[in-house]
Every structure is written in structure tokens, then in C-alpha cells.
Chains A and B, each alone.
Chain A
Amino acid sequence: MNLLEQIEGFVSEHLPHDTRGWCQQYTRPKIVHDALWGTFQLEAHEVALLDTPLLQRLRFLHQTGAVYLTYPSAHHTRFEHTLGVVCQSGRLCEAIQRSTPDEKRIDTAFRDNVRFAALLHDTGHGPFSHTSEQFYASLEVMEAFRRENADLEDSGAGEILSYLIVRSRPMQDFIRAINELHKRSLNPELIGQLITGTVDETKIFMSEIVHGPFDADKLDYMPRDGMFSGLKMHVDLDRLYYSIRIKSADFQGERQTRIAGHVSGLSPLTQIMFNKMLLFTGMYHHHKVRAVDCMLWAIFHLARERKRKLGGIVLDSPVDFLRITDDRLLVPELSDDNEIVDLLKSIRERRLWKKALVIARNTLPAKMHSDHEGGERPLFVGVARLAGNEKSKVDERRNIAKQIWEKAGKPCKEIEVWLDVPKLPGMTEAKKMWIEAPGQEEPQTLEHFIPVDKWVELYGTHQSRAHVFAPAEACAKIGAAAKDVFREQFGLEFLREATAFAKS
């Protein structure tokens, strides 16, 4: 079965069989109370979709994966995030309609399709969200699908699955029933394109609400991740909504219509970019978060390699990842492999791997720093280029971890030694967002006003850290061996701090 056929099977199992009967039950809107955005309303046809098993499974996917093992209150899920994105996409529609009253394209059908895209945008997520996504993205079936569908080459693996879910025959039947019974104009093809940002040039501004540089997704996940992790961050969305509008302009030789911000409303955009950096420092690149991610990668790796069960099923294809949720994945009894069971128990009991070696600016002598004059920049040669989720990079890191494990005298299982090299924060939003300034015919992009490239450079210099992780009892031997391997292979020297950090 190809990917589309597998998706059709999955969607069919997660939507009601009597579509018309199901949709007929929903005749009234629903009021939602959200901890972040307060009270807002869903239309009856939106509730009909929300109540399906396809959307309800999002209640069992943590929004920030296993971050709750580091920040105990970060238990928010993809479900409430989805509701938040619907809320914010509705508010974005209202904001651009208010600022561009002559724009006739923002009608009921426009809003309905945008909000439905918001509801469906995360349905392609698997267990522990981006952790499993990064894993199944490198599976051959997904790489082949990307090669054959050039339009979707830039899309994330989860986005592609969401797109296929929306375009599947069972979903088309469901949407047709809603259109007939609720007198709507929902278009599955358009909704899929809104999710992946693959609309034609006449609908860029519409897509930007769901898939753009400052889309409803970002406007929800940043404050939500911050709020539920306890990392305080603020974005003045009211100010943002009063400083955006739809603008048509000649840009880089093309006539385009996009959402543009005004130079007077730069501060909320700056807050968003700054918060994103903060989320990387405090959450996504936190060493405990990275350690659990590596443990989950080890579990996926073993399950795939040995074709053993995880969450009760064998993970043959990306679609199989949609059949397990966070809660099922962590049940040891649903796996038939002893090493996987041990790893699952370690996560459940929070016996996380520790830092055996830290590779960072403050653990390397100054001559190894990238800003040191001359030399071959061993930090780059040895470490920076190992970042990434491509299969070749993963294999290279596994190979180095294996060498470390052997040199250390195999003090633990091979799968328990992991080299982690996080990617730098991607901040290309600033290259994409139009900013209008008085007296300028052609809009400029946000990067002309906020030095994001410089921020990322500083992040890389001062915050970026690679780690070798191992179980606590093996850390001393693995740390010492890792120093030797990096010295022999990459010419790296280390300060005492490189392994001293391992105690924390």
C-alpha cells in the first residue's frame, strides 16, 4: 500500500461511518473556555469535526513532547493548541477585515476554510510530536513521497500527513456532508493547501493565517508553551492585530498580495522572535529535554531495526506512528522487546540519561572557539556539521556513539550512548514578513528592522551545546572515552568542565 492508501485506511477508522447521521446531530455552536485565550465560540459544523476520534486523539499527544519531564506542568496537548489556533485564526481574519474593509475576499467561506484548516493542521502528528516526526521523516516512504511531490518538498513530515488526511476520500465525504447539511463552502483541496502553504499566488494572504511567518499556529504555541512550562513570555497580540493589513505590492519583480505589518507595530513582532529564542534556550534545547528525546529516538530506532512492537504495533510506515499516542507508547506491556521495555520504564520512572560530555564554548579552550583567529575551526569540523535529522547525519552520530561505547569498555548497552547535536534555531520568518513604512512603495521584510541573523549567531556562539548522553552509572567512563574519541577524530581538546558538568 502506498502512503495515500494507508492514510485513507487510517482516516476511515477515525471518522464516523454514517457521516450524514453524525453531522446531523450537531446543530448548535459550542462555547469553549481556554486557560490562555478565555472564552470563544466554535460553530456547529466545527464541533462535528472536533468530536470525531480523528481530533480527539490529539488529547493524548503532548504539545511539547516529553518536556513535562523537565517542566512538570507542561502537560498541555495538541488538542487545546488546535482550539487555540482556531481561535487565533478567527481573530486574524477579523483583524485584517477591520483594517482592509474594502477587501471583499474575506467572507464567510474564507473564514470557514481557514478555521477548518486550523482544526486539521496537527492531525498528522504522531507520539511525542516533533520527536517522532523527525524520526519518520527519514523513512524511505516519506522521502520518496517528497521526491514525487515537488510542491510538498518544503513541508514537514507531519504537515504532509495532515495534508493527506484532509485530501483523503473519507475526509472529502465528511466535508461534503457538512457542506450539504450546514450550508457551508468548505473545500478540502484548498484546506490541504492552506495547511502546507502550497496555495496559488492569489491566496498567499489567506494561507499566511494558517501557514505563514506569523501565523495562528505560532501565535498560539509560543504563549501556550510558555504559560504551561512556566517560562514567562509576553506578546502584545492586541497591538499586533491593529498593525496588520492585506497589502498588494510589487515585490522582487512579482505582484503579490500578502499580510503586512506596519513599522509602528514592530514591538509585538520583536517579542515573538525574542520569545522563540527564549523557548530554544529554556525548553527545546534544555539538556534534560534533549536527553529524553534521545531516549525516545533510541526506542524508535530499536523498534524499527528489530521490527518489534511499540504501543502494540510494529512501526512499518509513517502512518503507523499516527496509530499510537503518547500514553500508549509508554506502556511497557505493549512492547515485545526487553531493551525497549527497559527504556520505557526508565522514561516512566524519570531515570533519564545524564550528560557524560558537554561540547560548548565554555568547555573548550579559547583556541577552539570559532572566533579565534586562524586554524581549521575544529569545533565546526568535529561537531557543528553533525547536526540534522537526515539519515546520513543520524548514522554518523550513531557511529561516533558506538566508538565511544567501545572505547569506554562497554559499561552499558550500546543503544544507551547517544551523541546529540541540536540544530540552531530556524528564524527565517524575518525574511518572509512584509513591513510597511511611510514613504516606501515596496514593502521591506522584517529582517531589515530586527537583526535576527545576528541573534542566531550569538545563540550559536554562547548557547549552543552538543552532548554525549549515557545512563548515570556509565557517565564517568563514557565521558572519558568521548574526550578521547573527539580528540583522536576531530582534534578537539576539552577543559575540565566538559565532564564536570556531567554530575548535574
Chain B
Amino acid sequence: MAVTMEHSAVDVLLATLHEVGRDVRLMDDFALAKVFNDAAKQYGGLFKQFAWHRHYHVSDVLSESLQVLDHAGSIVRENAAQTYFRVSPHTAGPYGEKVFNSFGDHERGLVKKVAAEIRKAFEAQSESSGAN
């Protein structure tokens, strides 16, 4: 494909979710927003745009990028209320890998760190709620 990969918020999120993988159930909630806000403060750069609103603790960029990924089938919503989601096969697979590899070495390292933080936050949540 002759598509130029710009590192927009959607691409950063997609690369991060590629690294998170399919086995963790996620939610667009305070915990996810906090991981991205911490990354915005700690790493800046790619993640700066994901900083949350200081009063509402909501990142419009994160939520709207998730909506684009939802539209694209890059995440799949689950359960009756459709509030949880998982990474879709094409995000976890070669397409997600291609986007991830379009970043430089340093950026890939940061993406991996943020993905690890997401896994930590949501694995702990799954254990405490008994969900899987």
C-alpha cells in the first residue's frame, strides 16, 4: 500500500493497542485516560496530545481516536452494554505491526512502555472484578 504513515493520534493509539494485544479487556475510562495522561506528562512528544482536561480527567483526543478505531473495526466492543472493548485481529496482527514499525526506535520504546502500563492497569482491574 502506498499510504504515507503520519503519526496522528489515531496511529499512536493503534500502535499502542497493537502492543497491548488481544487478551486484555479494556475500557475508555478513568484508568485508560490516566495511563495516557501520565505518558503525556512523562514522555511528551507523541503522547502529549493525549493529556486530559485537568478538571474532568477526560482526554477528548483519546476518546475521539478510540471512536475512529471503533469505526474502522480496529477495536471490538464487548458485553451487552458494549462498554468494554478488545483489540481486533487486524490491530493485533500484521496491520497493527506495520503501523507500530512505522515509528522510530525511541518512539517504539515509549509505545511499549505505555502498552505495559495499560496491561498492568487493566489486568489488575480484571482480577479485582473477577472479569476475564
Contact = CB atoms under 8 A, between A and B. Distances in A.
Contacts of B63: 426, 428, 431
A426 B64 contact: yes
Contacts of A489: 1-3
A65 to B, nearest CB: 21
Contact of A392 (B6, B60, B68, B71): B6
Contact of A457 (B30, B55, B70): B70
B10 interface: yes
Nearest to B66: A453
Most buried by A among B55, B60, B64: B55
A90 to B, nearest CB: 23
Contact of A256 (B10, B55, B71): B55
B122 interface: no
Contacts of B70: 453, 456-457, 460
Contacts of B88: 377
B113 interface: no
Given A424-B64, A451-B82, A460 B1 contact: no
A180 interface: no
B74 A377 contact: yes
A375 B28 CA distance: 25
Contacts of B60: 154, 426, 428
Interface string B1-36: 111101010110000000000000000101000000
B67 A385 contact: no
Contacts of B77: 453-454, 457
Interface in A392-439: 392-393, 396, 423-424, 426, 428, 431-432
A151 to B, nearest CB: 9
A380 interface: yes
A304 B3 CA distance: 27
A335 B11 CA distance: 40
Interface in B56-75: 56-58, 60, 63-64, 67-74
A381 B1 contact: yes
B131 interface: no
A396 B67 CA distance: 21
Contacts of A377: 72-74, 88, 90, 95
Interface residues of A, number: 45
Interface in A228-257: 252, 256
Interface string B117-132: 0000000000000000
A370 B67 contact: no
Contacts of A428: 58, 60, 63-64
A396 B6 contact: yes
A142 B70 CA distance: 31
B103 to A, nearest CB: 15
A363 to B, nearest CB: 16
A372 B73 CA distance: 9
Nearest to A154: B53
A4 B69 CA distance: 38
B68 A491 contact: no
Contacts of A197: 53, 55
A204 interface: yes
A464 interface: yes
Given A376-B90, A453-B82, A489-B3, A384 B95 contact: no
B111 interface: no
A41 B71 CA distance: 46
A140 to B, nearest CB: 17
B95 to A, nearest CB: 5
Contact of A370 (B3, B8, B10, B72): B72
A372 B89 CA distance: 12
Contact of A453 (B11, B67, B94): B67
A244 to B, nearest CB: 17
B71 A380 contact: yes
B81 A457 contact: no
Nearest to B62: A428
A102 interface: no
B28 A385 contact: no
Contacts of B2: 488-489
Interface of B: 1-4, 6, 8, 10-11, 28, 30, 51, 53, 55-58, 60, 63-64, 67-74, 77, 81-83, 88-90, 94-95
Interface of A: 153-154, 197, 201, 204, 252, 256, 369-372, 374-377, 379-382, 384-385, 387-388, 390, 392-393, 396, 423-424, 426, 428, 431-432, 451, 453-454, 456-457, 460-461, 464, 488-491
Given A197-B55, A428-B58, A432-B58, 9 more contacts: A252-B30, A372-B73, A380-B71, A384-B68, A396-B6, A423-B64, A428-B64, A453-B83, A457-B67
30 contacts: A154-B53, A197-B53, A197-B55, A252-B57, A256-B55, A370-B73, A377-B73, A377-B74, A379-B72, A380-B71, A381-B1, A385-B10, A392-B6, A424-B67, A424-B68, A426-B63, A426-B64, A428-B58, A431-B58, A432-B53, A432-B58, A451-B82, A451-B83, A453-B28, A454-B77, A457-B82, A464-B71, A489-B3, A490-B3, A491-B1
